[in-house]
Amino acid sequence: MNVLERNNVKLSGPEEGEAMVFAHGFGCDQNMWRFVAPEFEKDYRVVVFDHVGAGQSDASAYSRGKYDSLQGYTNDVLEICRELGLTRVIFVGHSVSALIGMLAAIQEPDRFEKLILVGPSPCYIDDGDYVGGFSREDIEGLLESLDSNYLGWSSAMAPVIMGNPDRPELGAELTNSFCRTNPEIARHFARVTFLSDHRADLSLLKTRSLILQCSEDAIAPQAVGEYVHRQIPNSELVLLKATGHCPNLSAPEETSAAIKAFL
């Protein structure tokens, strides 16, 4: 199977430019970067794609065995980079894709020059002194609700994830994005995402990293961003004024400006 077709890879910007790869979070697709990625097309070779099961990816490539951990998605990212011959990659990952990018950079450190981690969370479940933002019961309840009524869960949860209740059109867009995702694949991806624990991997990352932490983020609270910053040796933490979990949609100008300042 063609890797670029599998993940609906789209390229823009100068062919000789340094590569910037933008990866979307759970329930989303590459469209979530439409306000941010074009800001970099003048100077960078911009790469956007859809994880298998999302957007216009080839859902026939999905296998529960392969995608039963984030490693399956990590392998896809590395395959895309190899197929395009990308080196010195600047990887911009939102939410769970921040962790996918981190795992890729740990696996092939020479391929990645910088990581921008937008709303990362290595573990969503509180554990001793670690604050993930959710109890185990919270996560199990969330997953049970998602299993029993995916569309209902989407319409209830998307506005909470997005934040910005004064801008209901943003929550509606995320709801629609969730509803376009294959429900079976989304249920499995949610389980893999929300039950994963990659805290032990953070200290293995040597790539220079920027952590973009939103204010009032219901999914990845500020304590999580601060924890990630403490654990990743060569990292910077920027607290955005943007609220919610999707600053690429709710505050693209502030998000782009923070990335440009880091680069």
- The residues assigned a catalytic role are 95, 217, 245
Ramachandran quadrant class, 95 (left: phi over 0; alpha: psi -120 to 50; beta: rest) = left
Cα separation, 198 vs 162, whole angstroms: 24
**Alpha-helix runs per DSSP H in the chain:** 3-6, 70-84, 96-107, 136-148, 150-162, 168-180, 183-194, 222-231, 247-250, 252-262
Cα separation, 179 vs 20, whole angstroms: 28
Could you give the C-alpha distances from 262 to 32, 210, 241, in angstroms and in order? 21, 7, 17
In this structure, are residues 191 and 218 in contact, taking their beta carbons and an 8 Å threshold?
A: no
Distance from CA of residue 164 to its chain's centroid? 19
Burial label, 200 (beta-carbon count in 10 A; 0-12, 13-18, 19+)? exposed
Ramachandran quadrant class, 49 (left: phi over 0; alpha: psi -120 to 50; beta: rest) = beta
In this structure, are residues 250 and 244 in contact, taking their beta carbons and an 8 Å threshold?
A: yes
